[in-house]
Chains A and B, each alone.
Chain A
């Protein structure tokens, strides 16, 4: 397997948020993590992104434990948090320039990931004037700089309209097709259709789940 989580643990003040989280994901696969509010989905993703420290466990990518060497996480993993990590006063171009050099940015806008996300259409729009969908696409664009092999998204299409969702899903499909690994925390059933594997995170324990379209059954599990 390309990526493996082994026994990741995290607790806050004696409360176990994550208990021995283990899973494996292959190249070009997408894994969806479902769970109620406060179930620890965001904590798990932020540990993988190197934002928070785990109490124990390993995040192995190509045989190396990235939790032991967090400086190796940024080139490998792109992280899109739940909110939008953007500078409101600046436009899309300025936000992207923080991560891309000029030549790469122009190239990506021409025919790369940024073209696919449709960033060109609002390149000069200040972030504070953007719609939720534009912001989310721009956030993803910022995260996929240097073409990371793993993309971690925290509820990527929450509160977005259908057109935006479609745009993001198309991008994620292409990302997978190019061999990328996607790990997303979600509440959205449409997003589950992108996933090859689903897990439910409940009381810190990860449990595999096969979504068969029965929403009532799923709600009962959360």
Chain B
């Protein structure tokens, strides 16, 4: 969340947000079409460099954020490794059937999961929501009523987190016990979500009315306080991606980690 943490601004922050998102999307589509794990691993290093050195966030924060990524690797890969189809059996025990094909396919999914996570987090850490939505309005013609609603709602989140803390104390003081099992989970979710939802809906409603009182309307033109443009940094970003892309292919052919070039087979 780049919302309430301080950070150093880097060149990644200066990229046009719409362009950044666009290329993140292209990358996503491209990644789905890569079936060679070797390329994928190289790709991962390319994105990891951005994550580790260019987000402008302190090391400790980066490390904490990285932990769940390992979990992603596991969740994305294990089912496929244990239960995927394949011919060359490596291990079989009860329902578990690990084959060479399923193993590499699983590994592939794991790496892909990690790359998506890294790219997503790099984007999140280097994009201020306000600039993102201004850029959406200016470059992607998003309607202002959606863009400003997003910005207003994002502003409410820190308030909501404070309220949640208060709510937590209040429930404790009143001695609320949610019980165990599914019912307990249901009660717990309910005792938090009802007050939070109810307060937030009221607040959101009032903000919307206040915005209209300030003559916000969907019709007609508007000027912008921030003009989000394109710059040289955008080119740097695009060239970086092209470099990662070419190098990944080249290295994968020249110095493969595994002999398999298509995990679908």
Query: Do A and B share a complex?
Result: no
